Structure 1
Amino acid sequence: MRGSLKGAGATSVLVALLLTGCSGAESGVDEGEGAPAELVIGSSDPVPNLVPGRQSNAFGLTMSVFSPLTFLDADGELSYVAAESVESDDQIHWTITLRDGWTFHDGTPVTAQDYVDSWNTVAYAPNAFENSGQLAVIAGYSDLNPAEGEPATDELSGLTVVDDLTFNVTLNQADSQFPVELSQAQTAFYPMPPSAFDDLDAYGKQPIGNGPFAVTTGWTEGEPIVAERYQDYAGDEPAVDKLTWVPYSDRLTAYTDALAGNVDLVRLPANRMMQVADDFEDDHVYSFSGPAISYLSIPYWDPRFDDVRVRQAISMAIDRDAINEALFGNLNAPATAWTPSIMPGNPDGICGEYCEYDPEAAAELLAEAGGFEGQLTIHFPGGAGHDDLFNAVANYLRQNLGVDAVARPSVGWAEFSEDRNNEVLDGPFFARWGALYPSQQSTLRAMFTSAPGCTNCGGAIIPDVEQALNDADASGSEDGEAYAEAQRHLAEQFPIVPLFEESYNFVTSDKVAELTASAVGEPLLTDVILAED
């Protein structure tokens, strides 16, 4: 497989998506030079709104039409894009200086005020922006998102404009990872031009960004979307001239069209992981180590799981290597910690013997805990392709622990998440997190703190974990090793079962000579190298 990415990661993320927008920008394509170098991308994921603070799966497009303040490469090295610098003496008070000469696709200059206005808009609760929580680290966020009633203000107290190219940011607490949080997949931090605020709904259909590509067609449901090189882009010049997203009803159909050469880049469907090696030549299959990790979460509200040995026995009874080979074609990796190994400073192996397959030891451990009474039901969202995985897990628990284990899908995601959040599930259940920036902080805070990104996914709150995360945030450490202390507490109390580190997998047509990814596991559409005719 081509393109294995190690060293840092981020985001449950997709390469392509339905996009929009008639920006009015001038493209950089000279019609007199012949046909532009075009990349055609197959997409099967609906995108309801392309405002960067609202979209949740349009990362390929958003990262092409917008440019971030900072950027993380495949080695996890931080560099600056739209920002000249992001500096702090105490990890709480930060000064962001923008590069001069940057413009939006409508020709207006990008200023500090644009960032402040955009962040205030995303953070303001009545706007109900899906990515609002990415800004929760900024002072004043709770005022814009009160527990009850309407907010008394629509501006974050932690933002202050200094001049056209400089603004100050005050955080709620010390956070050494803040420059990393400003990188490419945290789309709430992207700027919008002044014209966006006149009609945000219209802007969501016609996004105007500050990135290397400008959307040049209006959005029509079911029709391709085109973005062309923005000729006044102040950053690095992209390798292709034109990006076209073609919508599909499902990933399998897009995959089939890629096999036929009708599209150049699609995400590999889960049900083709075992077949892809026969369908595509090796140099057209790319597997990037991702920032996502899956778990078998434990219902801490059910007293049958109170004994840590029960949770450890469940983990030891699952043969992760066999599942990975049989279901994932070895494209994923068995988890050995509570965050993916591509995270900087990740304490690989900290799960120890409890993440290793040992059915005899698992049975003994469960017996020491007093056994298990009643049916052990494993819950997962139906219709998402998880049936084979959780049926396999149930089989292992039934065979190795002697329990009445069954896998039960919900009607769909809505039913599953409602039952999980309301604490009515009566057995272990599906959980995963795809980080949006390559730091253990992202996953650990989302799964194991009192302000979770995944409600009830990470087990009962462990105060020692939360304190260790606060200490790591304030440490100023850039290698990530400070976060290992939080995982040591997780290893001791074993609140949930780590399963697999997920890869992000793609296939390409013969037209693509080389595909690379950034630290978030997302293919860089600006850097795609096309084969010569």
Structure 2
Amino acid sequence: MPRSPMFTAPASLSLALVLALACAGCSGGTKDSGGSAGTGGFSVAVAEPDHLTPGRSTVGWDQLRVLFAPLVKVDAKGGISYVQAKSVTSTDARHWTIKLRSGWKFHNGEAVTAQSYADAWNATAYAPNGWAGNGQLTGIEGYAALNPAKGKPKTKTLSGVKVVDATTLDVTLTSPDSQFPLQLTPSQLGFYPMPKAAFKDPKGYDKKPIGNGPFRMTSAWKADEGTTVSAYAAYRGPKPKSSEITFKSYADLNTAYTDVQAGNIDLAYVPVSKYGQAKADFGDRLHTYDAPSLEFMGLPLQDRKFDDVRLRKALSMAIDRSAVNKAIYGGLYTSATSLTPSSEVGAETDICDACAFDPAAAKKLLKEAGGWSGKLTITYPGGLGLDELYKAVANQLRQNLDIPDVRAQPTADWAEFSEKAFGGKITGLNHAHWGALYPSMQATLRGIFTKAGGCQVCSHYSDGDVDKLLQKADSAADTTAAAKLYNEAQKRILQDFPVIPLFYGSYIYASTPKVTGVTVGPADVELSRISVVG
């Protein structure tokens, strides 16, 4: 539920050359653990989904990740294990072969084949469909033909996706990409397969999708209420630990939080506004994971007042992240010391010197940069629980840099903030967030610091040297080489210091004593691993 590629909006969409994916560190991951699904069920708070067709959805994360099985999974250390895939291999990082496990079925009994993937990927990539997951397939050859700058596409299929046989899919990328296997993980909904039934009745399927995962939907989603999904007895992967999950729709996560306290629902994502009290409220029933996300402030680099990198670094060094984290978030965040969090494969931290709180050095840098005159504003979306954060940051800039007029300035809501950001109407600092849909430095660095990135409007930054380093990293021969180059790229970006890193984000859930085995990891909360007590 909490994933959000850019800024921080109500749950919204998006986003190692593992040439040796059949390597020692990659386990099979789908051996039956024995026995059947656990008994009993539990309930989960979710936002009302816009769609439940995988390639279309921007909000239905939790539901779709139990209704569908991904090709691969990634653990907290970046190790890849196979789920629906048997192997994902390449000799040049551009031409990939995906071998599927045979015998897997959709919930309606239809076989899961290479064609099931090709059909779903083509539908997602076809521009006239307007599906939200479209951008996840940009790296595949033929994507441009399905998304022409003008007019209707002359084809409906990706030329880079070839069905070799029932269990073999050949994928050709537009250029070498060492991170392609990481893109096949659960959060990239655009890479899930779909059965033939999805295309015969798209409207009905969108309310009651047929997946290939550990749970099946027995009744259609009821708007503003939810549904219950049941364990799928024929699932070929690890059996789920409970017999059913009830998803309850919430318009306000603060209400869901209160309902977990009251025992009215068993699991809910903790909204940022509750971070300060969550530990006291839930103790060991609070479940956290350092997410592949970055909370930061953007700078209007198009404004000459922000040209001097010393000014930008001074603003950063005047912020006591640790004090803010403790006072507002109960210590649940981690102060950022780089541009890429440690949860992204191979990411280096402790490389951002200007992220360290040093008010004396900050004043010196500001003076060297010519000082600051006039008003300094921090614009952020109102109504999302961010007021205390930016009031605290404004106070610290005012006090530690002797800038008299620093204002934390909320917009009326997310819509107004988005309109200002995309319209280039923000004149000072601005709130920004990037949540990677797969745990790779590639996702963050390309997303924020390249012209084609989904959060380029957050940073207003790109650089030719950085582009070259990222291209080299994408084409690297092994995971170590790729990580080294991505880290070089982020160090190069930090020389220019185009944004002010604040915190690495977290996935945080609260539960009732009714459930156990709550595990949060790179793909968010693992609902199929939760069991019911008693």
Kindly report which structure 2 residues correspond to 1:55-74, keeping only aligned pairs within 5 A, or say none.
55-74=57-76
Q: CA deviation at 1:349?
A: 1.1
CA distance in 2, matches of 1:263, 1:64: 18
Alpha-carbon separation, structure 2, partners of 1:46 and 1:266: 14
- Residues 17 and 232 of structure 1: is their aligned pair in 2 closer, same or farther, counting only changes over 3 Å? farther
2:447 is matched with 446
- In the superposition, the TM-score normalised over structure 1's length comes to 0.91
* 1:476-513 Cα shifts (integer Å, max 9, x gaps): 33243331010111111111111101111111111112
Contact 2:450/2:461, CA 8 A, preserved across alignment:
no
Paired residue type of 2:503: F
Taking the aligned partners of 1:460 and 1:34, their CA distance within structure 2 comes to 50
Q: In the TM superposition, what whole-angstrom CA distance separates every residue of 1:51-79 from its partner, at most 9, and x where no partner exists?
A: 11121232221110000011112332101
> Residues 252-281 of structure 1, C-alpha deviation per residue, up to 9 Å, x if partnerless?
22112211222111111222222223322x
| Equivalent residues in 2 for 1:122-521, closer than 5 Å | 122-280=124-282, 282-352=283-353, 354-403=354-403, 404-479=405-480, 480-520=483-523
Secondary structure of 1:131's counterpart equals helix
Query: One-letter code of the match for 2:474?
Result: D
- C-alpha contact (below 8 Å) 1:314/1:362 kept by paired residues: yes
Q: Distance in 2 between matches of 1:440 and 1:84?
A: 25
1:30 equivalent in structure 2? none
Q: Distance in 2 between matches of 1:262 and 1:63?
A: 23
Deviation of 1:514 (Å): 2.2
For the residues of structure 1 that align with 2:453 and 2:514, how far apart are their CA atoms?
43
Alignment-derived partner of residue 39 in structure 1: 42
Q: 1:13-92 residue pairs with structure 2 within 5 A?
A: 36-43=39-46, 45-92=47-94
Which stretch has the larger CA shift, 51-60 or 308-317? 51-60
- 1:436-492 C-alpha deviation (Å, 9 max, x unpaired): 111111111110112111241123211111111110111133243331010111111
Is the CA contact 1:339–1:443 (under 8 Å) kept in the aligned structure 2? Answer: yes
Give the distance between the partners of 1:259 and 1:461, measured in 2 at CA. Answer: 46
Per-residue CA deviations over 1:371-417 (Å, capped at 9, x if unaligned) read 12321111111111111111111111111222221111112222212
User: Which digits, 9 at most, give the CA deviation of each residue in 1:104-150, with x for residues without a partner?
Assistant: 11111111111111101001111111111110010111111122222
Q: Report the Cα distance in structure 1 between the residues aligned to 2:265 and 2:469, rounded to whole angstroms.
A: 47
Secondary structure of 1:366's aligned partner: helix
Which blocks of at least 5 consecutive residues in structure 2 are unaligned?
A: 13-35
Please state how far the C-alpha of 1:34 moved relative to its aligned partner.
13
Q: Which residue type is aligned with residue 260 of structure 1?
A: A
Cα distance, 1:422 vs structure 2: 2.1
The answer to whether the Cα contact below 8 Å between 2:77 and 2:343 also exists between their aligned partners in 1 is no
Partner secondary structure for residue 274 of structure 1 = helix
Aligned length in residues: 504
Letter in 2 for 1:180: L
Q: Report the counterpart of residue 115 of structure 1 in structure 2.
A: 117
Q: Report the Cα distance in structure 2 between the residues aligned to 1:57 and 1:315, rounded to whole angstroms.
A: 33
Structure 1 SS opposite 2:525 = coil
| SS of corresponding position for 1:275 | helix
> After superposition, what is the alpha-carbon deviation per residue over 1:183-214, rounded to whole angstroms, capped at 9, x for unaligned?
11111000010111123232111111110100
Larger mean CA deviation between 197-206 and 237-246 belongs to: 197-206
SS at the partner of 2:132? coil
| SS of residue in 1 equivalent to 2:260 | helix
Give 3-state SS (helix, strand or coil) of 1:507's partner: strand
Measure, in 2, the Cα distance between the counterparts of 1:410 and 1:98. Answer: 48
Once residues 340 and 218 of structure 2 are traced to their aligned partners in structure 1, the CA distance between those partners, rounded to angstroms, is 39
CA distance in 1: counterparts of 2:373 and 2:121, whole angstroms: 51
Worse-matched range after superposition: 406-415 or 79-88: 406-415
Residues in 1 aligned to 2:56 and 2:116: alpha-carbon distance in whole angstroms? 17
Kindly indicate whether the alpha-carbon contact (under 8 Å) linking 1:11 and 1:437 is maintained by their aligned counterparts in 2: no
Q: Distance in 2 between matches of 1:307 and 1:251?
A: 41
RMSD between aligned residues = 2.0
Cα distance in 1 between the residues matched to 2:285 and 2:166: 45
CA contact (8 A) 1:17 1:47 kept: no
* Higher alpha-carbon deviation: 267-276 or 233-242: 267-276
Which digits, 9 at most, give the CA deviation of each residue in 1:214-255, with x for residues without a partner? 011112223231100111111111111101012233112211
SS in 1 for 2:158: coil
Q: Identify the residue that residue 23 of structure 1 maps to in structure 2.
A: none
- Report the Cα distance in structure 1 between the residues aligned to 2:225 and 2:60, rounded to whole angstroms: 16
**Contact persistence 1:344–1:439 (CA under 8 A):** yes
CA distance in 1, matches of 2:452, 2:362: 33
Q: Percent identity?
A: 44
Counterpart AA for 1:92:
R
Determine helix, strand or coil for the equivalent of 2:371: coil
Q: Distance in 2 between matches of 1:154 and 1:373?
A: 56
Q: Which moved more, 1:271-280 or 1:85-94?
A: 271-280
AA aligned opposite 2:496 = Q
Contact in 2 for aligned 1:39/1:264 (Cα 8 Å): yes
Deviation at 1:36, TM superposition (A): 3.8
Normalising by structure 2, report the TM-score: 0.91
Amino acid at match of 1:389: L
CA distance in 2, matches of 1:477, 1:379: 42
In structure 2, distance between residues paired with 1:74 and 1:344: 9
- Aligned CA distance change for structure 1 residues 58 and 34 (closer, same or farther; 3 Å): closer
TM-aligned CA deviation for residue 310 of structure 1:
1.1
Q: Which moved more, 1:50-59 or 1:170-179?
A: 50-59
